[in-house]
Amino acid sequence: MAIVSNDITDLVGNTPLFKLNHIVPEGAADVYLKLESFNIGGSIKTRTALNLIRDAEDKGRLKAGDTIVEASTGNTGVGLALIGPARGYQVLILMPDNADPARVEILKAYGAQVEFLDHEGGVNELVAAGEAYDQEEGYVFMRQFSNPANPETHFKTTGPEIYEALDQVPDAFVAGAGTGGTLTGTARYLRTKSKEVEIYAVEPAESAVLHGKEKGPHKIQGIGPGIIPDTLDTEIYNEVLDVSSAAAIDMTRRLGREESIFAGISSGANTVAAIEVAKKLGPGKIVVAIAPDTGERYLNSDIFMDRASYQPVRD
């Protein structure tokens, strides 16, 4: 249903579920992707950004004229950058110095300030810088990796939307483990409706820290931060599924070519895992997976560039 609004936050949430028609093999369960690119800002992290801001306002941490600070490699930063000014705040995003230039330009287009830190320090260095800013007057660090308002977002919105759209609980739910907010909050809600729903976390095979392995470089942006965040409930999922960067890239390309879904690489990873679960469950069952963002942010990445020649992929 079309809406008329003068509040940008009205354009957050209520994203569609799309049933995959071509890439799921015969004899498998039905697989639905929740297409989070339909959020204003193009990703699921706009939901998170909105709830982080509202929570800080409700608790009196954030007041007009303050500067919102967050450690982000992209999507959460974009969400904060587009919502913050609309509610009277400035925005400062802390990023590694090897961040995707396209993400940086998007942030600046929304008026955000960007500060770069040495990428060798990883997430922990970004978080430490955010905590330092939080001690200064007029700066409020959002703490997406530890703030309970992150998973609360998805308990209040993403989970209920899935349940209401299907008019039932899916047999399985699949989401990548980045901050863990989407996975944790959505799973907690679905478990209030049925204890039988199977929950699957997805992480990069090259950085399988949830399996107790060392962190490593990978190409699945948005998941696999190399730490186990406080916002990830490690008791909520039945199993962790590892997906290689190569498999995620291949599936992301297939989503565009075979299903007309132009999505980011974490969507490809989640789809690989969802199909694995669907084959195990068999026909008559329903698997829901998250497609976190749009593929437009990855046009200059390995997803849509041939890895040998670094030219656009061509049939």
Please name the helix (run of DSSP H) or strand (run of DSSP E) that holds residue 165, with its range, or none.
Answer: helix 158-166
Helices 75-83, 101-109: crossing angle, 10 deg rounding = 10
- Cβ-proximal residues to 86 (8 Å cutoff; 6+ apart), any chain: 7, 8, 9
Is 130 among the annotated ligand-binding positions? no
Q: Which residues are catalytic?
A: 45, 266
d(CA 196, CA 127) in angstroms, rounded, equals 36
d(CA 95, CA 74) in angstroms, rounded, equals 8
d(CA 220, CA 264) in angstroms, rounded, equals 9
260 contacts 23 by C-beta, under 8 angstroms:
no
Is 266 among the annotated ligand-binding positions? yes
Pairing status of strand 139-141 against strand 172-176:
unpaired
Amino acid at 128: A
Is 182 among the annotated ligand-binding positions? yes
Is 124 among the annotated ligand-binding positions? no
Is 309 strand, coil or helix? Answer: coil
Is 107 strand, coil or helix? Answer: helix
Is 212 among the annotated ligand-binding positions? no
Is 180 among the annotated ligand-binding positions? yes
Is 75 among the annotated ligand-binding positions? yes
267 contacts 243 by C-beta, under 8 angstroms:
no
d(CA 260, CA 72) in angstroms, rounded, equals 29
Residue with tokens 């995003």, as numbered in its chain: 93
Alpha helices per DSSP H over 25-148: 45-58, 75-83, 101-109, 122-134
User: Binding site for pyridoxal 5'-phosphate: what residues are annotated?
Assistant: 75, 178-182, 266
User: Binding site: what residues are annotated?
Assistant: 75, 178-182, 266
